[in-house]
Structure 1
Amino acid sequence: MSVGDFSIRHLLRLNILALLSMLLSAGVTAGEVTTPQAEMNAVECEVFNRELAFAKTVDRHDVAAFSSFLLEGAVFNVGTNTPVRGASAITQAWAGIISGKTFSLKWRPEFALIGGDPDTAITHGPYLIWQANVDGKSEYAAGHFSSVWKRMPNGEWFVLFDGGGEPPRKIAATEAQALFDGLPTQCG
């Protein structure tokens, strides 16, 4: 790795930390569902809609479509001691989740933000995990995700980083049903 590569990575990490810090200082916590705090501009709407389309690949259990949203050098499980690096490895690690065999997952963006670098964005919103327990009853857990997106020269956005949020917390079925209420279903 060259010194220039280190500087870019270091700056990107600082940007990510700054954005996450802003989100946390704004009071975004697990179990809290709010409407977007600010209007999204046209480019932020592109990213929001791209995140929404990415989420729906898991709704449809479409592994190939899921993979098509990942930057080749993407990293998932950011902020843990078990990062998953590279689009192929992420797709393989998520295959059971995408298929719904490991557990069921649904997430939706609440907002997208672009800071000083117009080709880097962050999306944030709630996620819901559910699976049947030994008695056959569904158990639910929820939290919030944050994903960092990178715009390529052709204008298309891809996931660069995902994760870094708090662990999911158990919630009641009624809370699970209401988790996505009030969130925007599209932008722009």
Structure 2
Amino acid sequence: MRKCLKIIAILLTGLFGCDSTTDAEKMEEWKAEILAVEKEFNDMAQKEGLTKAFEFYAAEDGVIRRKRKVIKGKVAIAQWYKEDVRPNETLTWKPTFVDVSEAGDMAYTYGEFIFKYPDSIGNMKTNTGIFHTVWKRQTNGSWKFVWD
């Protein structure tokens, strides 16, 4: 009887302890996902332009704040960029911090950005600053921003 109890205990331990991924490992995996999405987002902005990148990475209910205005929704965000982005403007950024919710469905990043644009006589100007983005995992598993 003792032998059977030991075997049952071993089986139960194996059954309930078979998830080899720890919470810390999951968190690091999710953080790596967000850093990869941020890089892809930045890379798309460089290759295909700000309008396309912001439209692609915005959630349907995404929000941006630009020029003291809040623009709500993916369609409105795309329209704002189509109307506002001028030729030869570039925006690059890289997160210096990322955190993810314990459920792995929300995340936020912040870091530094560099915005370059031509002034009225064609001289390139540079603005630098800090960005903050809030990400939400979508039902298909992808990450889209809900605040930028």
TM-score for both structures, normalised by structure 1: 0.56
Q: Provide structure 1 residue ranges, at least 5 long, that are not aligned to the other structure.
A: 1-39, 163-188
Matched residues, number: 121
Q: Which residue of 2 aligns with 1:86?
A: 73
Moved more, 124-133 or 88-97: 88-97
Q: Cα gap change, 1:64/1:133 in structure 2, threshold over 3 Å: closer, same or farther?
A: closer
Letter in 2 for 1:124: Y
Q: CA RMSD in A?
A: 2.5
Cα deviation, 1:72-114, whole Å, max 9, x if unaligned, reads 0001018x8510000011011112566x527322222223211
Q: Which structure has greater strand proportion?
A: 2
Matching of residues 107-126 of structure 1 within 5 Å: 107-126=93-112
CA distance in 2, matches of 1:50, 1:131: 25
Q: Does 1:142 align with 2:128?
A: yes
Q: Which residue of 2 aligns with 1:103?
A: 89
**Pair member with larger Rg:** 2
Q: Cα gap change, 1:126/1:139 in structure 2, threshold over 3 Å: closer, same or farther?
A: same
Q: Provide structure 2 residue ranges, at least 5 long, that are not aligned to the other structure.
A: 1-26
Q: For the Cα contact (< 8 Å) 1:57–1:66, is it kept in 2?
A: no
Higher relative contact order (CA 8 A, sep 6+): 1
Q: Cα gap change, 1:97/1:105 in structure 2, threshold over 3 Å: closer, same or farther?
A: farther
Q: Which residue of 2 aligns with 1:48?
A: 35
Q: Which structure has greater helix proportion?
A: 2
User: Which segments of structure 1 move beyond 6 Å, counting only runs of 4 or more?
Assistant: none
TM-score for both structures, normalised by structure 2: 0.69
Q: Cα gap change, 1:136/1:151 in structure 2, threshold over 3 Å: closer, same or farther?
A: same
Please report how far the alpha carbon of residue 157 of structure 1 lies from its aligned counterpart in structure 2 after TM superposition. 0.7
Among all aligned residue pairs of Structure 1 and Structure 2, give the percentage whose two residues are the same amino acid.
26
